[in-house]
Amino acid sequence: MTRIAARWVLALLLVAAGLSHLTWGRRGYRITVPDWATRLLRTDKDMIVVASGAVEVMLGVALVALPRDRPRVGGIVAAFFVAVLPGNVHQWRTGRSAPLLRTDGARFIRLFLQIPLIAWALWCTRLDASDE
């Protein structure tokens, strides 16, 4: 897969995930938010889910709409994937089901998907001499 195609696929995945946080999965995703996050951010779980969904949509759009800022956007996307990892760990440790993650195995696999997602974001947004 070319980096351009990979960037578009990642953008679509981020937008789809973000829209799910804002719509059909919103209630279910609150389960993944650790209690300490609400204390730290001084807000409730629903607001964290909504904010993360909005950020996912914006990052997905930025991946394709801001070509001059591609490496910076890729770094921000990678940082976002790092930032949501505690929620994934919390969900796995508590055994709570959320949309598309109803088994311990699925939750465990989801933890290890963060590493390829981070690498993907950085790879598909780096600039080379051969870039368009």
Closest alpha carbon to 73 in 63, 84, 83: 63
**What's the pTM value of the predicted model, to 2 decimals?**
0.86
Residue 1 pLDDT > 70, yes or no? no
Residue 25 pLDDT > 70, yes or no? yes
Residue 91 pLDDT > 60, yes or no? yes
Binned at pLDDT 50, 70 and 90, residue 130 comes out as low
Residue 110 sits at the vertex; the CA angle it makes with 121 and 106, to the nearest 5 degrees, is: 150
Q: Cα–Cα distances in Å, from 83 out to 74, 77, 103, 112?
A: 14, 10, 23, 14
* pLDDT score, position 32: 82
